[in-house]
Amino acid sequence: MSLIAIAAGLGPIVTATESTHGQPDDVDAHGATIRGQAASLEAERQAVVRESASIETEHQAEHQALADFYGVLHGEP
């Protein structure tokens, strides 16, 4: 079993020569399931990356606002 499959909770990878039923159709369906899961995980990863970038932008804006406020308190333009 591959480490990627274990990490993703997908279980063992079945190939045509390892199929428990010996049916290539089973392998094709399993492959389609794995590809679908991989696409879903990639979409989720991209959403996390976008959210992280958004949070970083908000953090930088808050930091700038605090720096500006500190400057006003201390008579800086």
Q: Tell me: the pLDDT tens digits for 25-58?
A: 788 889 999 999 999 999 999 999 999 999 999 9
Identify the domain containing residue 17 by its residue range. 3-73
Task: State the pLDDT confidence band at 1, using cuts at 50, 70 and 90.
Answer: very low
Tell me the three-class secondary structure of the chain, residue by residue: CCHHHHHHCCCCCCCCCCCCCCCHHHHHHHHHHHHHHHHHHHHHHHHHHHHHHHHHHHHHHHHHHHHHHHHHHCCCC
Q: Tell me: the pLDDT tens digits for 7-33?
A: 555 555 555 555 455 566 788 889 999
Using a cut of 0.95, tell me whether the model's pTM lies above it.
no
User: How much is the pLDDT for 76?
Assistant: 73
Cα separation, 3 vs 22, in Å, equals 24
